[in-house]
Amino acid sequence: MDDMYRDYILDHYKNPRNQGELEGATNSYSDSNPLCGDEISMALRIDGDRVADVRFNGKGCAISQASASILTEEIKGKTLDEVKAIDRDHILENLGIPISPARIKCALLSLKTLKGAAWGLPAWPGEDEAKARSAG
């Protein structure tokens, strides 16, 4: 646990980077994890093929919020192709802490939101494409 809540994780949680609204956003997306109540919305300003700027807002557990904060730092200035190449494993590695199975969804919510924003799609290729939620 002490492994999981390392100082930099808690720092990102308490002092999230790139938090807030983004003026002139070109792409944005929100997603949530109903089970935990974690929520993240992310806005990108894409300039040519690059992520010129990024902001996020969210609430939820330390893992979900730190993951989002770290991710925004990473993608700023990257090309869209580079952003689209980011996968689960990359996120988990980047977090640098052991994530138990029950918390994987928390760690990956930021990626899910980013991909929604980057692709402009509600779901993105190769991830959860079979998600078949229907309202009843």
For binding to other proteins (CB under 8 A), which residues are involved?
A: 1-2, 4-5, 10, 34-38, 59-63, 100-103, 106, 128, 130-136
Taking the least distance from each CB to other proteins, the nearer of 48 and 135 is 135
Taking the least distance from each CB to other proteins, the nearer of 102 and 125 is 102
Report the nearest approach of other proteins to the CB of residue 116 (Å).
16
Taking the least distance from each CB to other proteins, the nearer of 25 and 36 is 36
Taking the least distance from each CB to other proteins, the nearer of 27 and 65 is 65
Vertex 51: Cα angle to 119 and 129 (nearest 5): 20
Report the nearest approach of other proteins to the CB of residue 134 (Å).
6
CA pair distance 121, 27, nearest whole angstrom = 10
CA pair distance 105, 121, nearest whole angstrom = 19
Taking the least distance from each CB to other proteins, the nearer of 7 and 23 is 7
What SS3 state is found at 46? strand
Report the nearest approach of other proteins to the CB of residue 112 (Å).
13
- Cα 95 to Cα 6, 18, 131: the distances in Å are 10, 17, 26
CA pair distance 29, 41, nearest whole angstrom = 6
Report the nearest approach of other proteins to the CB of residue 40 (Å).
13
Report the nearest approach of other proteins to the CB of residue 85 (Å).
25
